[in-house]
Amino acid sequence: MPLLRDIGEKTALEKMSQILGKQWRCPTLSPGDDAVCAGIGFENIIVKIDGGSIDTSKAPWMGYYDVGWLWVTATASDLAAKAAKPIVFLISVGLNPSLPEDALYEVIKGAIDSAHIHGAWLGGGDTNSSKDIGWVDVAGIGVVQLQPPGRRPQPGDLVFITTGRLGVTGAVLHSLASGTWRKAMHEYPSFFNEFDRPRARIEFADLYRIVGADCITASIDISDGLAETLYQLAEAGNSTVEIRELPLSKEVLRYAEENNVNPLDLVLYGGQEYEIVFTAKQECREDVIGEAQRLGLRVKAIGVIRKGAPKVVYRGSLIARRGWDNFKA
């Protein structure tokens, strides 16, 4: 029998979705989406669980407080991608018994503060022991006022993205991988502030409510990298995602130049951005941009959905599909 590290997370999730589909009860969202509705008659109640090992989510400069904050934000972002506003989170923490007790309390404090900033609260959870450093799982419940957006855009739809962290987390992760994070932290403190205290784009729920499901046709959270997210969109819509422009801030460009790295790699293959990619009908462009601006949500139209094989192209060139895989690491 193949090992998980051999097949990878994507293949494993596809097989899991087939198993889940045999007893699926959410009529609006399919297995494998960012989150799921509670079931028939409860389509407006959206639920999600997310988490991971502390070893892979806690960078050297981060504390246990940051880990608690991070996983609540990750869960909130998946809810937000389905236009749901969080109302309550639950947390499960497993820690090595040799850790000081403050490690547990700091995880909880970070989770509480992140829950509050996302308009919700932390309703407790569970604790357990771990043989390695530990892990954190966070479940969230949110409410959407309209039918939640799925992942299937239509040819001709515009591709939008919320902005603010694109390339930033890529730069932070690059500095970590290259061992230059101490220098980068001194020269780009705003990058590390965004990385340590990310905030989900909850305003997207209001944007979706205002412009309506007739305008916004699909949405996905970005957490495994923009390139992987765009490929998921292409596969779900059985279409080609044509990217015309990618947002590149002056600071990201400066970091790329100083560190001899392609700035597009920082934007496409970063991960942990917790931004939202969404599609909207062409005729809704001005409404989407105008309402987003009024809500304080920065969005940018970056491309269009075309008929064709599921792939992602940028200015005529195929974008390589690379993204984080928990089983292959």
Give 127-138 pLDDT, tens digit per residue. Answer: 999 999 999 999
Q: Which CA distances in Å does 66 have to 113, 124, 129?
A: 10, 18, 20
Rounded Cα distance between 268 and 224, Å, is 10
- Please report the pLDDT score of residue 3 as a whole number: 86
Instruction: Report the range of poorest mean pLDDT among 212-216, 295-299, 324-328.
Output: 324-328
- Please report the pLDDT score of residue 89 as a whole number: 98
Provide the 10 A C-beta neighbour count for residue 143: 14
Residue 87: which pLDDT band, with cuts at 50, 70 and 90? very high
Cα-to-chain-centroid distance, residue 266: 16
Report whether pLDDT(329) > 70: no
Secondary structure letter of residue 146 according to DSSP: S
- Please report the pLDDT score of residue 16 as a whole number: 86
Report whether pLDDT(326) > 80: no
120 SS3 class:
coil
Q: What is the pTM (predicted TM-score) of this model?
A: 0.94
- Please report the pLDDT score of residue 323 as a whole number: 72
Residue 121, strand partner residues: 88
Cα-to-chain-centroid distance, residue 18: 23
The domain locations on the chain are: 4-143, 158-318
CB-count exposure of residue 97 (10 Å: 0-12, 13-18, 19+) = exposed
Report whether pLDDT(125) > 80: yes
Q: Which fold has domain 158-318?
A: Phosphoribosyl-aminoimidazole Synthetase; Chain A, domain 2 (3.90.650)
- Please report the pLDDT score of residue 224 as a whole number: 85
Once rounded to an integer, what is the mean pLDDT over residues 9-29? 87
- Please report the pLDDT score of residue 272 as a whole number: 87
Give 169-205 pLDDT, tens digit per residue. Answer: 999 999 999 999 999 999 999 999 999 999 999 999 9
- 101-117 vs 64-81: helix crossing angle, rounded to 10: 30
Rounded Cα distance between 299 and 275, Å, is 10
Closest residue by Cα to residue 89 from 79, 97, 99: 79
CA diameter of the chain: 59
Give the chain's mean pLDDT.
94
Read off the amino acid at residue 54: I
Report whether pLDDT(324) > 90: no
Rounded Cα distance between 256 and 241, Å, is 25
Once rounded to an integer, what is the mean pLDDT over residues 209-237? 94
Specify the length of the chain in residues: 329
Give 60-83 pLDDT, tens digit per residue. Answer: 999 999 999 999 999 999 999 999
Residue 252: which pLDDT band, with cuts at 50, 70 and 90? very high
DSSP H or E stretch at residue 213: none
Cβ-proximal residues to 202 (8 Å cutoff; 6+ apart), any chain: 76, 80, 85, 86, 118, 119
Cα-to-chain-centroid distance, residue 326: 15
Q: Which fold has domain 4-143?
A: 60s Ribosomal Protein L30; Chain: A; (3.30.1330)
